[in-house]
Amino acid sequence: MTETNENIGVIGAGICGLCTALALSSKGYQVTVYERDVAPPEGDADQAFFEWQRRGAAQFRHPHAFLAVMCNMMQQNYPELVDNFWEAGARKVTFAEMLPDEMKADYIPEPGDDAMWLLMCRRATMETVLRRYVESRPNVTINNRNNIIGMEASVENGEINVKGIQLQIERGETQTVMQDVIVDASGRNSRFPGWLSDLGATIDVEDNDAEIVYYTRHFKLKPGEKEPPRTGKDRSAGDLGYIKFGVFPGDNGHFAVILCLPNHETELREAVKDPGRFNQICCAIPGLYPWVNAEKSVPTTSSFGFGNIHAVWKHFVKDGKPVARNYFAVGDAAVRTNPLYGRGCSTGIIHAHLLADLLEDVSEPLDRALEFNRRTEERLRPIFEMSLREDKQGIDRAKAIFEGRSLDDKKGFKKWLRASFGDAIAGASREQIHVLRGAMRSFNLMEKPGDFLKDSKVRWTILRYMLRGRERNNRARFQRGPKRQDMLEVIRTPPIRAEEAA
């Protein structure tokens, strides 16, 4: 690490902001992180989860996971941090553990399989461990005392130069803090685009609605109970066509269940808001019942939702010119994908390290802005577009089931072919380990999305599955469970309230 005189302000102490501070501090920069929420409480993971007033993170109590790309970046750069996660009770889920039962018997490890692992725990645990590690860095300060109320900038010949931020010190009293660079890691509700627009900037935004909402409820295994298997005939994550579901194992015996619904499923969406009916739905799904039945676990929270799910890309360079200099938006403040895919934390750390490397490589503000945009497009755009395709295919499938029509009733040969190809990949991934291995590398962002399709063996396998027909491949996406009408009957039966806690 070489020291530098540049002082950098990072706005937001969420996972992306902390990763940014970590990456920059490793390069020798002096970093101040500004966060409006209070620090995590002293104590263990349960205190962080139940007592921390984390109002600034909309997904704070929803499930999270660190994909393999992030796990490997942490292991390579901050091995002590990974050890701290294990000490806090975080879980390591390996590629071998993720295999379907029918593949495990004949599984032969290949080079690279050991790098495909996930880190799973509650987000409160993630943030607490990460924050305490970042706070221990000698060149990082976290300011929880003052709210940011504005941006300090100059405008010369139509060019905006960001110079710092304005803080509220006392009621009616403000202070301007000058920074060489401002990094916006304040998430999807960042106020910087508005402040930049007030100075004449135009920020083009791509905004695509995923047309879903998801609800979460947390549980804890009863004393002496062990986790059910996550694979097998009835898996703990999957799709019934009209509802997606998943179990997220956490730390210290805790786990979360997520139910994801299309916006048009109004009756089911209303039902999952109610904790009793949330449990009714879970108990009706064979893959969830072993986890949530009253003999196995107890709920620790109510059910709570997250909506307004969009894929968003903000363009901070327009017509070859940056909208501002010395300002960089990272993570959700710049690029956002459907959180259902669990990519946000991982793309955040990728973006953070990309920025840290850039600032070390390039010194001139204009060149920095243009090069950051280029590197962001190169590294994150393929991930964004893959997520967008998945969203659109999911919308089409859900609408077809809701309307009772065939998936092949789709206008346009190219659209049909793309969807058919995607279904063939899904079908082959359930039965062919070489396809699953490639798909998992893409899912874990360990390579450019779709790179595994360059393998001729994979391509021929997928072609063979396409010849089976789209309907058969599409059925491979779905888990065993109630049909939509049967589930509607389930939620129309009054739930049993005796076991409802939290």
Q: Name the residue ranges covered by the structural domains of the chain.
A: 1-64+122-209+322-404, 210-308+484-491, 405-475
Average pLDDT over residues 366-390: 96
Task: List the beta bridge partners of residue 345.
Answer: none
What type of residue sits at position 38?
Answer: V
β-strand pairing of 321-322 with 317-318 = antiparallel
What is the C-alpha to C-alpha distance for residues 443 and 448, in angstroms, rounded to an integer? 10
Average pLDDT over residues 353-368: 97
Q: What residues have CB less than 8 Å from 428, skipping those under 6 apart?
A: 435, 436, 461, 462, 465
pLDDT tens profile 4-48: 678 999 999 999 999 999 999 999 999 999 998 888 888 787 888
What is the C-alpha to C-alpha distance for residues 132 and 39, in angstroms, rounded to an integer? 10
pLDDT tens profile 397-447: 888 888 877 766 555 677 777 778 888 888 899 889 999 999 999 999 999
CATH number of 1-64+122-209+322-404: 3.50.50.60
Average pLDDT over residues 68-86: 97
Q: What Å distances lie between residue 449 and 49, 358, 469, CA to CA? A: 34, 23, 24
| CATH class of segment(s) 210-308+484-491 | alpha beta
What type of residue sits at position 357?
Answer: D
What is the C-alpha to C-alpha distance for residues 12 and 402, in angstroms, rounded to an integer? 40
Domains 1-64+122-209+322-404 and 210-308+484-491 share a fold: no
pLDDT tens profile 171-220: 778 999 999 999 999 999 999 999 999 999 999 999 999 999 999 999 99
Q: What residues have CB less than 8 Å from 240, skipping those under 6 apart?
A: 285, 478, 479, 481, 482, 484, 487
Contact 242, 259 (CB under 8 A): no
